Structures are given as structure tokens and as C-alpha cells.
Amino acid sequence: MIVDNLQRVRSRIVQACSACGRSEQEVVLLAVSKTFGAAAVREAYAAGQTAFGENYIQEAVEKIAALADLPLQWHCIGPIQSNKTRLVAQHFDWAHTVDRFKTAQRLNDQRPPERAALNVCIQVNIDGGPTKAGVAPTEVLALAQQIAGLPRLRLRGLMTIPEPAADFAAACAVHQRTRQLFDALQSSGLALDTLSMGMSADLEAAVQCGSSMVRIGSAIFGGRQYPA
Ligand SMILES: *Cc1c(COP(=O)(O)O)cnc(C)c1O
């Protein structure tokens, strides 16, 4: 049951926060509904969940339309090809996966004037996977400063998808590097408030390292039917 799963995930967040002296108010739960239909999202909404993450733009746009009667917040957490920026700018509240200025510029230019600024996170390739999306840590500051100048975007922070870690300590070691990068950006004068890191398997380690938004899919909706 989605309602029970949500309750369990919320308890994990509460416990993870109390284990490191943080307030649970500091951690937003993003329910990752990719591959699940509108009915599952309605069920989660009925259990109090309002923020949802989606990877596949076309799938998301259909779901967003089918759920337009609900006051939901939609986060794009999948790759954003140039030919998809318009859909993201039109339909989403957040984009977590910006890793090039060109993408940011297109989102900025295509954001409809009647909508609030699009919230944006820069995706960082924190563990150096050669084929992975995300900007290199050394290039984050320059990109952040460029994005901060775009009026229709609101730069909120950083997002990472590290490789699965062997254990808690290994997960923490990687998340800690993202945290340090985030702190460095803040010290440089950028007003950021979002560290989007932590999934079903590493929620606790991410919270301990300062995550402010965990993206949880399978622990809420169950196993996915096609690979993500
Ligand atoms: C699928 C996905 C998640 C959720 O993963 P789970 O392991 O199911 O919690 C989080 N973030 C991103 C970017 C994803 O693609």
C-alpha cells in the first residue's frame, strides 16, 4: 500500500534527522512516480504527498495533464535533451538535471511569462562516472554564476545521482563531497537552499550529509516494471 510505504519513508526521514540532530522540516520528500500511472499519484496525494519527481518528459507531461485538478508540484529529475526543454519549461515547477548553460538558457527563454520562475538545480557528476550526466565539480561554480543571471530561472542548489555505495560510510564519503561543494558555492555568495541527494537505498547517508531533498521511488511505489 502506497499510504503505508509513505508512512515508512517519512519515519525513516524523521529517524535519520534525529540521528544527526537535524529537524525533519529541513528535508523535503520528493516522491518519484516515474513508470507509475496517475492513479498511484492520486493515492500518494490522498496520503498527503504533494511533490512528485519524473524522469521521462513525455510520460510526465501526460500525467501532469491527467492530474491538473490536484495542487501538485512537479520536478523533472531525468535528462533534458534540447528538444525537450520547452515541455520542461511549460509543465514543471523544478528541473534538477541542468548541467549545461545552453539547457539553462533554453529553459529560461521558454518559461511561460505567466508562470513563476523555474526552480533549477545543477546536476553534478560527483563520483566521476565517465558516461554520466552532470557537470564536473570543478566547473560547477562557473555554471552556477551564469545560471544565476537568468531572470526566468531560480537557482536553488545541487543534485547528484552517485553510483550505488557498498555501505553507509561509502555513501557518506561521496555525499560529503557534494555537501562541501554546496557550502563552497554558498560561501561564494550564491543564495542556495537545496541539496537534492538521496534515493531509496541511501536516504539515511544523504540526510546525515545535509541533503534537503530526498528523491524516493521504489520505497513508496514498489518495484518498477521497466528499467529507469
Ligand atoms: C528513479 C530515480 C530516483 C528514485 O530511485 P529509487 O531507488 O526508486 O528511490 C531518484 N532520483 C532519480 C534521478 C531517479 O532517476
Half-sphere exposure of 216 (CA within 13 A, CB side): 31
- Of all protein residues, the one whose alpha carbon is nearest to atom 6 of ligand 1 is 217
The pLDDT of residue 144: 98
The pLDDT of residue 228: 52
The pLDDT of residue 132: 82
The pLDDT of residue 226: 66
**Helical packing angle, 38-46 and 2-19, nearest 10°:** 60
- What are the tens digits of pLDDT across the range 123-169? 999 999 777 899 999 999 999 999 999 999 999 999 999 999 999 99
- Of all protein residues, the one whose alpha carbon is nearest to atom 4 of ligand 1 is 217
The pLDDT of residue 186: 97
The pLDDT of residue 227: 57
Please, are residues 158 and 178 in contact by the beta-carbon 8 Å criterion? yes
What's the CA gap between 176 and 180, in Å, rounded?
Answer: 6
Residue ranges and CATH numbers for the domains of the chain are 2-221 (3.20.20.10)
The pLDDT of residue 131: 75
> Residue-wise pLDDT tens for the chain (228 aa)?
999 999 999 999 999 999 999 999 999 999 999 999 999 999 999 999 999 999 999 999 999 999 999 999 999 999 999 999 999 999 999 999 999 999 999 999 999 999 999 999 999 999 997 778 999 999 999 999 999 999 999 999 999 999 999 999 999 999 999 999 999 999 999 999 999 999 999 999 999 999 999 999 999 999 988 655
**206 CA from centroid of ligand 1 (Å):** 13
SS3 (DSSP) at 195: strand
**187 CA from centroid of ligand 1 (Å):** 29
Atom in ligand 1 nearest the alpha carbon of residue 200: 9
The pLDDT of residue 45: 98
Out of 28, 49, 197, 199, give the residue to mutate to test ligand 1, the one with the largest number of ligand atoms within 8 Å of its CB.
199
- Of all protein residues, the one whose alpha carbon is nearest to atom 7 of ligand 1 is 200
Pocket of ligand 1 (CB under 6 A): 32, 34, 55, 77, 161, 199-201, 215-219, 228
What's the CA gap between 113 and 107, in Å, rounded?
Answer: 12
Atom in ligand 1 nearest the alpha carbon of residue 215: 10
The pLDDT of residue 130: 76
Cβ–Cβ contacts within 10 Å for residue 146, how many?
Answer: 13
